[in-house]
């Protein structure tokens, strides 16, 4: 929990206090930025913008929620703004279709991510954003729709496709013998 | 046999299966395994929310940006202190608080008052003057005597009052440190490790509450007094707690 006196000093521009807040919360805040942005270099740039925004908004922090929660919300909003400015989310619906069509096959498994975190980075930017916001951050489809300027139905559709792809990417971690996998040659509608 | 499509299986984490789908899942091990795998995946995703990683930048670059933005102050930061007038108010409020507490405390300790009556008969006059109990009002005493007892001393100036306050705070700290070193309170009222721990927990809550209150009203004299008292009491209790621990135990951090 952030020390209220540290926050007071930080509001007044005390470098030691600002640094203390950054040291304490950067591991968590930067992690959500990295999950949403994907590309490490772009994530570092966005994280810098996020922290400037957090510190700029400090005087509005009233202490009625935990500092981590307050800062986390700013981080998500600022990151989504940054992604929008990169014109990555605008193409989300078309990208997800292409994305699903290019799911890796058995032979590519050696190249697949070893953890869900790495696997998420292999999703298209739009699919990653919807998946992270819903399944990791706990946003509702209505919230996501409002943030991304899409419909709630569109958010659901993208989420299910993202989950299906992740399931494929992480099949080797899910302990299901290949011989038992559904063939998916024919599916129910 | 038609299996359930992957995206539909992914949707079944949030949506209810149709009767046909439910029937299929009951009979088809591969599809039910897939659904179970999706559930495991959802749990993994949820666990990601609390996973931390290394910062994406270093402070040198971020600090430079913050300086350029004017967020880091170029001059050393000194938080606002109460003005002279506010000091006077602070002292007055503190004294009123102490006086009020003394009155309330004396009126609320009927058992001790009775004991004071007994002591009055047993002790010598010299002993009586040392005992706080001999000055306590008897049940049914007039309000005039109470108001006399609660009367605040008159100070020549705010500086004089401030000196008294500072001196009293120093004496309080010294006495707390002495008692902590001697552990006399444990002999009097049976304090032990558990009671010290409970007191520490309570004091932590008080410190947190008063600190939060100071964030809302940083110059409030009463809140400042409560905060300082709670911090001093916590330090004293921490020393007592450490002293009360068995020799084999060492308190690393509380």
Distance from CA of A177 to the nearest CA of B (A): 10
B contacts of A55 (beta carbons < 8 Å) = 66, 71
Residues 49-88 of A with CB under 8 A from B: 51-52, 55-56, 63
Interface of A with B in 25-44 (CB under 8 A): 26-28, 30-31, 33-35, 40, 43-44
Contacts of A144 (CB under 8 A, 6+ apart): A130, A133, A134, A150, A152, A155
Q: Tell me how far apart the alpha carbons of residues B23 and B17 are, in angstroms, rounded to a whole number.
A: 9
Q: What residues of chain A lie within 8 A of the CB of B220, using their CB? A: none
Q: Looking at the predicted structure, is the pLDDT value of residue A74 above 80?
A: yes
Of the candidates B69, B44, B85, which has an alpha carbon nearest to the alpha carbon of residue A52? B69
Report the SS3 class of residue B254. Answer: coil
Q: Does A118 touch chain B (CB under 8 A)?
A: no
Q: What is the mean pLDDT of residues A116-142?
A: 89
**Cα separations (Å) of B62 from A12, A22, B2?**
17, 10, 56
CATH 1.10.10.10 fits A92-173, yes or no: yes
Among chain B residues, CA nearest to A19 = B59
Q: Is the pLDDT of residue B244 over 80?
A: no
Distance (Å, rounded) from C-alpha B121 to C-alpha B133?
Answer: 12
**H-only helix segments in chain B:** 6-11, 19-27, 29-48, 59-68, 84-108, 110-122, 125-130, 143-150, 158-182, 184-189, 193-216, 221-244
Assess whether pLDDT exceeds 70 at residue B26.
Answer: yes
Which residue of chain A has the CA closest to B60? Answer: A19
Q: Say how many C-beta atoms besides its own lie within 10 A of residue B252's C-beta.
A: 5
Determine, for residues A27 and B11 on separate chains, whether the beta-carbon distance falls below 8 Å.
Answer: no
Tell me yes or no: is domain A4-85 CATH 3.90.550.10: no
Residue A19 reports pLDDT greater than 90 = yes
- pLDDT tier at B121 (50, 70, 90 boundaries)? very low
CB contacts under 8 A, A 1-20 vs B, are: 3-5, 7-9, 12-15, 17-19
pLDDT value of position A29: 95
The pLDDT-based confidence of B119 (bands split at 50, 70, 90) is very low
- Helices A152-169 and A92-101, packing angle to 10 deg: 30
Q: What is the pLDDT of residue A118?
A: 82
Contact A174, B41 (CB under 8 A): yes
Higher pLDDT, B182 or B136: B182
Dist. CA A121–CA A33, nearest whole Å: 12
Q: Which residues of A touch B218 (CB under 8 A)?
A: 8
Check residues B229 and B81 and name the one with the higher pLDDT. B229
Query: Given B59, B69, B215, which is nearest A52 (Cβ)?
Result: B69
Which residues, other chains included, contact B183 with Cβ-Cβ below 8 Å and sequence gap of 6+? Answer: B240, B243, B244
Find out whether B94 and B222 touch, Cβ atoms under 8 Å. yes
pLDDT, residue B122, reads 45
Nearest CA in chain A to B48: A136
Q: Is A140 on the interface with B (CB under 8 A)?
A: no
Q: Contact, A148 vs A129, CB < 8 A?
A: yes
Q: What is the mean pLDDT of chain B?
A: 70
Contact A4 B212 (CB under 8 A): yes
- Residue B72: list chain A partners with CB under 8 A: 13, 15, 18
Contact B41 A170 (CB under 8 A): yes
Structure tokens at B117: 């009556």
* Contacts for B37 with CB less than 8 Å, ≥ 6 apart: A167, A171, A174, A175, A176
Q: Do the Cβ atoms of B107 and B149 come closer than 8 Å?
A: no
Residue A84: enclosing H or E segment and its boundaries?
helix A67-85
Instruction: Please list every residue in chain A whose beta carbon sits closer than 8 Å to the beta carbon of residue B23.
Output: none
Residue A151 pLDDT grade (very low, low, confident, very high; cuts 50, 70, 90): very high
Summarised one tens digit per residue, pLDDT across range A79-94 is 999 988 875 555 554 4
**Which ipTM did the prediction report?**
0.76
CA of B44: how far to CAs of A117, A120, A174, B39, B53, in Å?
A: 9, 11, 11, 9, 16
Average pLDDT score over residue span B100-123? 46
Residue of A nearest to B53 (CA): A27
B93, pLDDT greater than 90? no
Tell me the pLDDT band of A11, cut-offs 50, 70 and 90. very high
Domain ranges for chain A, please list them: 4-85, 92-173
pLDDT band at B138 (very low <50, low <70, confident <90, very high): very low
Write out pLDDT tens, residues A99-113: 443 444 443 333 333
Whether residue A182 and residue B212 make contact (CB cut-off 8 A), yes or no, is: no
Q: For the segment B29-58, what is each residue's pLDDT rounded down to a tens digit?
A: 999 999 998 998 888 888 888 888 899 999
Q: Where are the domains of chain B?
A: 6-45, 85-152, 156-254
Region of A84 (left: φ > 0; alpha: ψ -120 to 50; beta: rest) is alpha
């Amino acid at each position: 929990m952030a020390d209220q006196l540290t926050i007071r000093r930080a509001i007044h521009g005390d470098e030691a206090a600002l640094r203390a807040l950054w040291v304490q919360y950067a591991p968590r805040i930067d992690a959500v930025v990295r999950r949403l942005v994907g590309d490490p270099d772009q994530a570092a740039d966005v994280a810098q913008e996020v922290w400037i925004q957090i510190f700029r908004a400090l005087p509005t922090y009233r202490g009625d929620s935990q500092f981590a929660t307050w800062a986390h919300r700013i981080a998500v909003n600022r990151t989504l703004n940054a992604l929008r400015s990169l014109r990555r989310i605008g193409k989300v619906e078309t990208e997800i279709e292409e994305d699903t069509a290019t799911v890796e096959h058995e032979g590519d498994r050696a190249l697949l991510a070893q953890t869900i975190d790495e696997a998420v980075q292999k999703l298209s930017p739009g699919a990653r954003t919807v998946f992270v916001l819903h399944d990791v951050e706990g946003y509702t489809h209505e919230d996501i729709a409002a943030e991304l300027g899409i419909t709630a139905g569109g958010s659901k559709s993208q989420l299910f496709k993202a989950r299906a792809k992740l399931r494929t990417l992480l099949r080797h971690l899910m302990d299901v013998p290949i011989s038992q996998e559904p063939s998916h040659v024919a599916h129910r509608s | 046999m038609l299996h359930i499509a992957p995206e539909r299986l992914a949707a079944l984490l949030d949506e209810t299966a149709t009767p046909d789908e439910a029937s299929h899942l009951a009979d088809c091990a591969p599809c039910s395994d897939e659904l179970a795998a999706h559930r495991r995946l959802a749990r993994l995703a949820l666990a990601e929310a609390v996973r931390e990683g290394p910062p994406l930048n270093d402070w040198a670059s971020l600090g430079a940006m913050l300086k350029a933005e004017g967020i880091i102050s170029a001059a050393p930061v000194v938080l606002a202190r109460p003005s002279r007038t506010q000091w006077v108010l602070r002292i007055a409020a503190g004294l009123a608080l102490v006086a009020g507490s003394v009155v309330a405390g004396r009126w609320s300790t009927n058992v001790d008052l009775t004991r004071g009556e007994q002591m009055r008969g047993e002790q010598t006059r010299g002993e009586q003057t040392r005992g706080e109990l001999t000055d306590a009002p008897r049940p049914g005493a007039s309000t005039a005597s109470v108001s006399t007892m609660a009367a605040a001393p008159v100070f020549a100036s705010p500086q004089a009052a401030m000196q008294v306050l500072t001196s009293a705070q120093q004496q309080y700290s010294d006495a707390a440190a002495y008692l902590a070193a001697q552990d006399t309170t444990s002999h009097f009222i049976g304090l032990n490790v558990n009671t010290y721990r409970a007191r520490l927990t309570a004091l932590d809550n008080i410190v947190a509450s008063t600190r939060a209150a100071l964030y809302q009203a940083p110059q409030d004299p009463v809140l400042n007094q409560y905060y300082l008292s709670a911090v001093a009491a916590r330090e004293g209790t921490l020393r007592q707690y450490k002293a009360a621990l068995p020799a084999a135990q060492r308190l690393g951090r509380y």
